[in-house]
Structure 1
């Protein structure tokens, strides 16, 4: 399973580091920003899967920023957990009404915070709970570790190696999002620090070669100077594929 990215927005570097240590220990990828400007830049660059937002946000009222996040098409479906020193009911309600999914009071237990993060990620990320992902005629079944390509009356199985499968799974679950090589390394290869940017290029080439056998090599696009994107635009004019049977059991 590809690792999830959590953006911590807090003006205290020490708190950011403590949270980051616990996130890494839980298999998550931490990012940190100390104000709303830096946070917006990272959101555009990294598209985090979840945001931890401190109540004492420099430069902009936190409730205003939370509403902006919820109205932004990049983050409207991103989980938001608000961190605050106040446990007053009025503050909790204000935070939730501004767009936060959860509200955690300081001081907090790092283990409890990670548990809340995992719970919210499961609710917000369908790929954590669904075995099957469909992009156009391409169907990826996580439980059976198989990839199918459907045509009018046939279904062909494509053969992928373990890393190719994981990379394709990650891209299919984040369509139309541009991923830098560093982001793909973190999300797909994780702590295998012997790999580098060239590794990503090689595996993208392998994916395209296998997809070219069924005329889908243009599914993965190169964004010059940035990275790679899996596009769905090529299927907009095609017939909607059959809907797969999905599992309600967590992966």
Structure 2
């Protein structure tokens, strides 16, 4: 009897959560301030693969709606989700898309698991299949986080290698007689690798905002969760990679 009660309670809680999430509501002061704080964050340009990967427009709209609702609730409650935001920044993905994917995948796993067990002829009653379905839903909900973390770590390693090559190019341009700003822009213009593009954008933003170039690169490193100075130390086995003004010794 207890497994049936737990399963029924979990199903009821899940249905209530979905209804509350999709129900239109009047935003309060906390929600408005949270949305304004999100709008103050710097906008990142989405790549074509990230922006145009939808195979079903209706499913994409549902995912966007659910993700935006969850993101608004996260902002209201003040949850920073720093690690997730850094991973998403590395992968050039939006928070609302990620949260919508988590919610839909968890709900899909929760619904799909009992259907498969019914098709396989599992006759162990309703309690155990529903508890297992709840476990499958939780796994589906956290699976995007695991995949995102793995992909982001690979991209961070790639970014560190490109940063080392970028510092080498800056040092060579300085040795050739160029000034520091010209050397930085010339080095960041070498190739269309995603890391070089982000470096180029960071330098352009620093020039517009009146920051030093290294402050712009440091802000990019903080946004992506990459320690730029540690990267420089790994690459600075020869004096040529020790670029003056970088703040890394």
TM-score, with length taken from structure 1: 0.25
TM-score, with length taken from structure 2: 0.26
Greater radius of gyration (CA): 2
**Whose helix proportion is higher, 1 or 2?**
2
